[in-house]
Structure 1
Amino acid sequence: MHIFITGGTGLIGRQLIEQLHRQHSITVLSRNANAARKALPGDVKVIADIDTLSDFNDFDAVINLAGEPIADKRWSEQQKYRICQSRWQLTSSIANKLDASDKPPAVFISGSAIGYYGRQGDTPITENNHQAHQEFTHEVCQQWESIAQSVSNTCRVCILRTGVVLAPDGGALSKMRLPFKLGLGGRIGSGKQYMSWIHIDDMVAGILFLLSQPELSGPFNFTAPNPVTNQTFIKAFASALNRPAFFPMPAPVLKLAMGEAADLLLTGQRVLPQKLQEAGFQFKYEDIDAAFADTES
């Protein structure tokens, strides 16, 4: 296949391209084309501007993974604007080019996040069993998904509602390792809030699964089948590093440091991958201890 990918230099994109490039032709959109060419395999084509393409007639699949990191900075109004527009504008451009195609790709796989659901406490959440809580993360993801779904009459559309991605390099764990290795880690807030996670290998395998299953469409929760509380997550991570975790982060301190963005860590979601499992997808890492044993080995 000829596959068009945005966000190809990100955590998920790099691993996905590593799996795809030997068998398929890959074109990546990157604002910094030179850096992308250095970071990606040599047989991957890189373009810096999507408007160099008038349509997607030459592609069999489009995978949209790009977006401003949501948890890296305080949510000022300017940062909220960046978070939204980095997702909405690019997805709109992709949708327009899909609609302009005489022979559109068979599938459009577009990113989202479990932030779509907003805070949910300990209620088990599936794609078809939820009532979204109205807050910033829901607004971002709802519009993002709506733009992607607007081309569902043009091609098959799959939405990736992604949880916390666990990987040996990059992602959330890269920010956590140093304080934990120094013995400064601990639960966040009460520690009772649920964390829905997925190992990077299952993340990539799930995308490949959606590529290969032409009957599947709509939103899919990309989370392991066994979400855990923050306290359990932290304990498992510390254990994998053979370190203690005695230094909790009180909620008021986190709110002072991160502002509204602290809600991402202090409120929880117990998200289950019902549609993936019903479709027959097999997770390699269902248990948090096994996942950390791999990422921290």
Structure 2
Amino acid sequence: MHILITGGTGFIGQAFINTFQSDYDFTVLTRNISTAKRTFAHIPSHNIKFISQLHELPSELHVDAVINLAGSPIMDKMWSDKHKHVLESSRWEMTQQLVDLISTKKITPEVFISGSAIGIYGRQGDQAIDEQHPKYHPEYSSHLCENWEKIARTACPLTRTAIMRTGIVLAKDKGALQKMALPFKFGLGGPIGQGKQYMSWIHIDDMVSAINYLLQSKSLSGTFNLTAPNAVTNREFSTKLAACFNKKARLTTPTLVLRLLLGERADLIIYGQRVIPTHLIDSGFKFKYDTLDQALSAIYA
């Protein structure tokens, strides 16, 4: 199977390619080919190719699957109008380009797997929600993801399409934990505000396994929450993360301070969603790390 992957040099993309480097061949769309080649120098050149523009795809290449993980990091910069345009264009325009390739039959993949995030639900309090939840809270993250998914769904009549609503992906020294863990290592970590907001997480191993499951399961299409079955409150998450470093989660970060530091981005941390991966579970997918204890124990073993 030959996979065209966007966002392949990102955290999740790298993990997927490294995990399945012996199973698939890859064409990676990347802005910096020289850096990408160094990142994947351990993979034989006949198993992985790199392009900087979609029009560089060889006409004779048959693409069996497309995995669309492209998107500028959402927490790296303040959400100014200028940066919101970057967040939107990196998701919406890339997805549209891929759909255009499929609709014009320049590529004819058997499956199109496209990214999204649980941010589409917006703030939902402590209510348990799954893919059937009918009402999204109107805020920026919801707007960003809703339009992203709308574009991806236009590929549905043309090929099997699966949309991944990803939660907080956990791995040691990468992704969210790379920034979150540092204060906890020094005993300075703790909950945000009252810590009642829910955090819906997934271990990186389950994340890449779920992507592969969607890739291989020919009967699956539609929307899938990529989160572990057991979301936890921010307070519980803080307590368990601190315990990994033999510390206590004593300090609380006031929401006002977070807003001053992060601006509108703080909403993603101050509020949360208690997300259930109903479609994955009902389809038969088995999580390796069902609970946060299992996930953190594996990461900080």
TM-score normalised according to structure 2 size: 0.96
Aligned equivalent of 1:26: 26
2:168 pairs with one of 151, 164, 169: 164
TM-superposition CA deviations, 1:129-152 (whole Å, max 9, x none): 341111100110011011111011
Aligned residue identity for 1:23: D
Count residues with an aligned counterpart: 297
- 1:117 corresponds, among 117, 121, 142, to 121
Stretches of structure 2 lacking an aligned partner (at least 5 in a row) = none
Offset of 1:100 from its aligned partner?
1.4
Relative to structure 2, which stretch is displaced further, 251-260 or 122-131? 122-131
Question: Percent of aligned positions with the same letter in both sequences?
Answer: 48
The alpha-carbon distance between structure 1 residues 103 and 253, as it changes in their structure 2 partners (threshold 3 A), is closer
CA distance in 2, matches of 1:130, 1:200: 28
The answer for the alignment partner of 1:185 in structure 2 is: 189
Q: Which residue of 1 aligns with 2:281?
A: 277
CA–CA separation in structure 2 for the residues paired with 1:72 and 1:281: 32
SS of residue paired to 2:174: coil
Using the TM superposition, give the Cα deviation of residue 54 of structure 1 relative to its aligned residue in structure 2, in angstroms: 7.6
Residue 18 of structure 1 and its aligned partner are, at CA, apart by: 1.2
Q: Which position in structure 2 is the counterpart of 1:12?
A: 12
| CA shift in 2, pair 1:186/1:5, >3 Å | same
Instruction: In structure 1, give the amino acid aligned to 2:289.
Output: Y
Q: Return the offset for 1:62.
A: 0.2
Secondary structure at 2:179 match in 1: helix
Measured after TM superposition, the shift of residue 42 of structure 1 is 3.7
How far off is 1:20 after superposition? 1.9
Is it true that 1:142 corresponds to 2:146 in the alignment? yes
Q: Which amino acid is the alignment partner of residue 252 of structure 1?
A: L
Other-structure match for 1:244: 248
Q: Is the alpha carbon distance of 1:189 and 1:266 closer, same or farther for their aligned partners in structure 2, counting shifts above 3 Å? A: same
Q: 1:171-192 deviations in whole A, cap 9, x for unaligned?
A: 0100122211111111011100
Root mean square deviation of aligned Cα: 1.4
Residue pair 2:122, 2:142 contacting (<8 A) in 1 also: yes
How far did 1:53 drift? Answer: 2.9
- The residue identity in structure 1 corresponding to 2:55 is D
In structure 1, C-alpha distance between the alignment counterparts of 2:172 and 2:217, rounded to whole Å: 28
Decide which moves more: 84-93 or 125-134: 125-134
Q: Which amino acid counterpart does residue 19 of structure 1 have in structure 2?
A: T
Q: SS where residue 26 of structure 1 aligns?
A: strand
Q: Which runs of 5+ in 1 are unaligned?
A: none
Which one-letter code corresponds to 2:32 in the other structure? N
- Contact 1:57 1:102 (C-alpha < 8 Å) held by counterparts: no
Q: CA deviation at 1:71?
A: 1.3
Residues of 2 paired with 1:169 and 1:16: CA distance?
17
Deviation at 1:56, TM superposition (A): 9.3
Q: Distance in 2 between matches of 1:28 and 1:53?
A: 10
Contact residue 56 and residue 101 of structure 1 kept, 8 A? no
Indicate if the aligned counterparts of 2:192 and 2:253 stay in contact, CA closer than 8 A.
yes
Mapped partners of 2:300, 2:60: distance in 1: 40
